[in-house]
Structure 1
Amino acid sequence: MTEPAPWTYLMDMDGVLVHEEHMVPGADTFLNALREHDIPFMVFTNNSIYTPRDLRARLHRTGLDVPEEAIWTSALATAQFLEKQRPGGSAFVVGESGLTTALHNIGYVLTDREPDYVILGETRTYSFEAITKAIRLVEGGARFIATNPDEKGPSREGTLPATGAVAALIERVTGRAPYYVGKPNPLMMRSALRQLGVHSENTLMIGDRMDTDVRSGLESGLQTILVLSGISDEHTAELFPYRPTKVVRSIADLIEHVKDPFWA
């Protein structure tokens, strides 16, 4: 009898493995089970602020051991997209080190003089001056890219405006909509599949959001698992016209099924 192809796991970071600065119970055991069975995995985040090295250190502080090469950000996906679209190009960037490092690594020049692109990413210090500059460059013909469409993000003090909200401001002024690279664009999923060298039909996407994680997984041809340890709850899930393959309370419920998923 032919052995079934091994599964690969893609998983969101916030709400699945960690909640703010704390590990979701069972996340460490789940990752250890993947390693024990030599199951490939990749951790995702739409947040473009941090480099994989930064995120590895953040996860390590919560008790999770994830190598840099197993972390895929919207900044990395954006850089990979641009490298294929316009190699050796130039960009005006509103963002932080996660995005600027990814662009430097593909040989992009960061400039405010006639750039090929205006690239909007996540930052905790959106500047009116930088946004105004971005608007004028887009009006002048620069192509408009945003790392992700998330309108808001959490903080200890409450909600923060995120990339999607600032992108909407620039779009409203310029009349030019950005191209969003991050989830729910399936481009981010497919770039990770290529990075891992695996096929979509034997890959699972675990996420806590119906509108980004589950949707991008479905549109990429993956099996999808919604965990209720983050943004979406069972009531929220019912509001969408599509369904995940499985809904579980948290990643801890998947530990005993990592090798042979119970719905496969």
Structure 2
Amino acid sequence: MNPRHDARPHIESWLTDMDGVLVHENQPLPGAPELIHHWVESGTPFLVLTNNSIFTPRDLAARLRASGLEVPEDRIWTSALATAEFCKSQIPGGAAFVIGEAGLTTALHEAGFVMTETDPDFVVVGETRNYSFEAITKAIRLINAGARFIATNPDATGPSADGVLPATGAIAALITKATGKDPYIVGKPNPMMFRSAMNKIAAHSETTAMIGDRMDTDVVAGIEAGLHTVLVLTGISDEAEIQRYPFRPDEILAGVHELLP
């Protein structure tokens, strides 16, 4: 299963995806609670990453706790936080028109941004369950007037109990079609998401590993960020999926239980 296990370099810090790695449909995956507990108790720097920009870290920590995972809220890094960091690095104290939920608006507020519908520096599109035609129209007009177009993540669909839902990427595509302008996308698979996460925990790429369940986001972004990549088979990837790509993860594990000391 994992021919390179013995070749794992010295890892000091860990980045891990959430869905399909630590939890599946609000149930903890085998070994996940123990691994998080081990990292917390041993003082190992780590962050749980998610492209979901709906929830604040506090909301996500509460949801994970309800699933049986005790993840401190300062150990959670979302595409909304990464997007706010990026916007702040570009135009400190700027203004933004936002299509999104509390996770995104809170992150931008805390990064020093003003929310406005008048001449914003950025139009930022994130995940929401309440896309409004009026807001999308406003976004299109503001981008046409010169606002910079940013999206938190490229995911075109998201899961629900009743089937797929249109997500950030689908709404961004609608705006792109209307404006002729592509957004700058901050979340995975942009390695910027990982670099901003490493900055938060003062980690270095040569001693940091990324655990994910997707070849097309987690693994490729981990490779591009220079990280040791670990693919777990508890999410959407199987051997056939792995073969579809021209790159390989450094390690392939049945699940995070294999990382327990």
TM class, shorter-length:
over 0.9
Q: Where does residue 135 of structure 1 map in the other structure? A: 140
**1:186-209 Cα deviation digits (max 9, x unpaired):** 111111111111110111000011
**2 CA distance for matches of 1:162 and 1:214?**
21
Is 2:258 aligned against 1:242? no
Is 2:80 aligned against 1:45? no
Q: Where does residue 92 of structure 1 map in the other structure? A: 97
Alpha-carbon spacing, 1:171–1:233, altered in 2? closer, same or farther (3 Å): same
**1 CA distance for matches of 2:104 and 2:206?**
30
Q: Where does residue 7 of structure 1 map in the other structure? A: 12
TM-score (norm 2): 0.94
Map 1:68-217; keep pairs closer than 5 Å.
Answer: 68-217=73-222
Q: Where does residue 262 of structure 1 map in the other structure? A: none
Is 2:72 aligned against 1:67? yes
Q: Where does residue 55 of structure 1 map in the other structure? A: 60
**2 CA distance for matches of 1:121 and 1:190?**
20
Is 2:30 aligned against 1:25? yes
**1:172-227 Cα deviation digits (max 9, x unpaired):** 11100000001111111111111111110111000011111101100000010111
**1:119-146 Cα deviation digits (max 9, x unpaired):** 0000111111111111111111111000
Contact 1:6 1:39 in 2 (8 A): no
- How far off is 1:83 after superposition? 0.8
**1:137-162 Cα deviation digits (max 9, x unpaired):** 11111110000011111111111111
TM-score (norm 1): 0.93
Secondary structure in structure 2 of the residue aligned to 1:30: helix
- How far off is 1:230 after superposition? 1.2
In structure 1, the gaps of 5 or more residues are 257-264
**2 CA distance for matches of 1:116 and 1:38?**
39
More moved, 32-41 vs 10-19: 32-41
**2 CA distance for matches of 1:150 and 1:6?**
29
- How far off is 1:20 after superposition? 2.2
More moved, 128-137 vs 53-62: 128-137
Percent of aligned positions that are identical: 60
In structure 2, the gaps of 5 or more residues are 1-8
Q: How many residues align?
A: 253
Contact 1:184 1:216 in 2 (8 A): yes
**2 CA distance for matches of 1:128 and 1:190?**
34
**2 CA distance for matches of 1:5 and 1:26?**
21
- Aligned CA RMSD, in angstroms, stands at 1.2
